[in-house]
Structure 1
């Protein structure tokens, strides 16, 4: 299977080099140029609309992993890097269930990682290097600057290329070739020199971001060298893809910059990342039962949690509990362990036990999204719709694109037998799930249905009309 990836908007990085977490103490301060809204033809609002459009297309066409715990773990690292910039609230960070090592960024602040990047990495520094590079693309507004340098090529051509390339990467060789080597590839060829400069700028600034955030900058240089060795063995790629985005000069520059920074304190074993990695391997179907059994038999905490998750996915709650009980013998507080235990109880329809397993920790850590969502799921099973809705609403207010939150709100509204607007609320929340999942026409139909049900309620009808108009306007944006 041949896979073609968009070189201008993505960075392909192998995670085979051994690097270690950085010590955040005594970090030097860097002066990073932040490209403001005065540069480029697309203003920030337009970039946000493009990013949200691509977000919906990715949700619709790609195998996005909806897993609050995994999302939160990666978003925590992402936030550390983002804090080094002047960027505002991002559109989001999505995880694609694809074994390829890949990541991409889109104007407006949409970032995505493949599961293969996580499962191939040896530590979080390697993942952070990818994130930092992609954050630099957005902070320097490379998309807008590309449009300015190549006027007349179409406002959304690069965004369309990105989605097309990502979809093609899921297909067989003929489909991938048709997308990436067709007429749009000619546009990419025109932008080769310009995009090379952007990649080098993203390397330089991204390395500053990751180092300031406390991660080892050597990781980025290691990635480039491994990627160069990997691509040099791929004979079917045309010269354009073999020479871009990586080059010997670019790799040398990255290594030189990393060597000029002070050495960091080495962390030889990062158990948190090991848990993240093996859990990701299980939920992305990259781990076998035999692998996990061997790891768990060595009393490896991450392996025991992963094995329990594996059996949980299989619906074997007895074996899942046995593996989890082995992990509990380590006597460590771990939120993932609590989430797994709750899911085992829910799978066995032991709802009261599930509530006892999750409620105290979720109440102590009210800002933990994964715990709150799992508690809401339990409350819905207990028919406590009001409590579930209030629990989820604050996360929904922070991020209106949170599909998992909207789905839980839809489920909670559906069991609210006392509300006179039960059907209307179910339709409203379902519409948001549909809309942010890329099914824009279905979302508008759901809201139109809800509007007909409340035609005598002027306030609610006006609110629905406003949202319908917003969806219709944003739907017109083509990529």
Structure 2
């Protein structure tokens, strides 16, 4: 069955049914409005709690790609754009393993991109345009303003509808249709109608954000055209998409706005983006071995690394190493090369060699999460648990929602059989993994079990109880 493509109410794919008049002859404006809290708007703390709730729900219901290198690469671009706003640190930036071109944002600063968006973009500036659009939705507090427009429908309900719509888009056509025929579909349709001007506002302000961050504003208009071509090839679309198409007016407005701004050059050959795109295609199952072999024959470095990743998935470490030896001739210092080389050596149980492959780069770049997580993984395999824990805790203090970090902490606790409080720590770290991947009930059960085991240690028991209380309180938010 064909998948149903769904337009999220505040996602990039939500579009305009009619165009307002815009003065394209005026001087470009850079005094971007920041809509702060106002009468009737939710306070930022509540928005953040909602953002974290949806973060957990998205992990539970959607195939989130857990890959520190891709996450860090996208976050770097995202942070450049975010720095042009007055927004606080976001809840997170997630990559969804979905071939459709889409993105969405929710209150509190949760942003998500589909793998299909990365795979379809031609350069990082096009991805930056999507990010800027979604950041503008949050900076202008569109969800909070929507709540004011729809009395009786809470902001959390609107966020829940967003998650439901995205989940439906993952489903078989009949299942997706059934979801969208419910009461949520009716409210979603109303919300789409209301958000037309918000979409225009997100286009306009997002373009200013991306330009000020150094990205080419023409790329936002370019990617609108990519989206338009992609949707025109689909044989079946839901009614509410057809009533709110990606109009030529919206594409024209974006192009005219971009033409007002000074020229920003986009590199015709961006090897780092090519690496990102082909690596993402492998992880999302959108690249074939035949495709990659054809490119490898032409000494394409991005394809070489992507094919190495595919061989690692297949457990063919010998073939992966052979390709890495070839890639080494072009660039042996790229972070992904080092990570993949370490993976191959760990897969071959060459622990000492794996440590040597990643150690120096991780130490020289202590802020590089992907390299340091791979270093921590090698340290765990080498039974150097104390050093691994120092590295992992450093990043988890910065972002306690980091599922990859908690999984490594759990791996470490399971491996360190001589550790004091080992069974307690296994339960605590498992609880964090469960909690941030949306399994709230299991997380609380794990912590309650840890609390019972730790009853003879008053300080540890109190710490665990405090975390249990916090989880139970946050769990009360219902989507």
Q: Same fold (TM over 0.5)?
A: yes
CA contact (8 A) 1:129 1:207 kept: yes
Partner Cα separation in structure 1 for residue 132 and residue 39 of structure 2: 21
Name the structure 2 match of 1:9. 10
- State which drifts further: 35-44 or 110-119: 35-44
Name the structure 2 match of 1:318. 318
Deviation digits for residues 321-354 of structure 1, max 9, x if unmatched? 1111111111452111111111110001111110
Partner Cα separation in structure 2 for residue 233 and residue 290 of structure 1: 25
- Any stretches of 5+ residues in structure 2 without a counterpart? 15-27
The answer to whether 1:134 aligns with 2:134 is yes
Tell me the CA shift for residue 233 of structure 1. Answer: 5.5
Report the number of matched residues: 466
CA contact (8 A) 1:196 1:245 kept: no
Partner Cα separation in structure 1 for residue 245 and residue 152 of structure 2: 24
Name the structure 1 match of 2:252. 252
- State which drifts further: 299-308 or 437-446: 299-308
Partner Cα separation in structure 2 for residue 151 and residue 375 of structure 1: 51
Partner Cα separation in structure 1 for residue 231 and residue 379 of structure 2: 50
Name the structure 2 match of 1:359. 359
Change (3 A) 1:155 1:105: closer
CA contact (8 A) 2:8 2:162 kept: no
Change (3 A) 1:189 1:331: closer
Tell me the CA shift for residue 235 of structure 1. Answer: 5.5
Change (3 A) 1:351 1:29: farther
Partner Cα separation in structure 2 for residue 190 and residue 301 of structure 1: 48
Tell me the CA shift for residue 265 of structure 1. Answer: 2.2
CA contact (8 A) 1:379 1:388 kept: yes
The answer to whether 1:196 aligns with 2:165 is no
Name the structure 2 match of 1:43. 43
Partner Cα separation in structure 2 for residue 234 and residue 294 of structure 1: 28
Partner Cα separation in structure 2 for residue 40 and residue 127 of structure 1: 34
TM-score for the superposition, normalised by structure 1: 0.94
Change (3 A) 1:265 1:155: closer
Change (3 A) 1:425 1:192: closer
Matches within 5 A, 1:168-179: 168-179=168-179
- Any stretches of 5+ residues in structure 1 without a counterpart? 14-27
Name the structure 1 match of 2:151. 151
Tell me the CA shift for residue 180 of structure 1. Answer: 2.1
Tell me the CA shift for residue 54 of structure 1. Answer: 0.8
Tell me the CA shift for residue 40 of structure 1. Answer: 4.5
SS in 2 for 1:65: coil
Partner Cα separation in structure 1 for residue 299 and residue 311 of structure 2: 17
Tell me the CA shift for residue 239 of structure 1. Answer: 4.8
SS in 2 for 1:156: helix
Tell me the CA shift for residue 137 of structure 1. Answer: 0.5
Deviation digits for residues 172-212 of structure 1, max 9, x if unmatched? 11111122232222223333442001101100000001111
TM-score for the superposition, normalised by structure 2: 0.94
Tell me the CA shift for residue 292 of structure 1. Answer: 0.7
SS in 2 for 1:94: strand
CA contact (8 A) 1:39 1:144 kept: no
Partner Cα separation in structure 2 for residue 136 and residue 312 of structure 1: 39
Question: What CA RMSD, in Å, does the superposition of the two structures yield over aligned residues?
Answer: 1.8
Tell me the CA shift for residue 284 of structure 1. Answer: 1.2
SS in 2 for 1:105: strand
Deviation digits for residues 435-479 of structure 1, max 9, x if unmatched? 001110110011101111121222211111111111111111111
Name the structure 1 match of 2:464. 464
Change (3 A) 1:475 1:263: same
Name the structure 1 match of 2:121. 121
Partner Cα separation in structure 2 for residue 80 and residue 255 of structure 1: 23
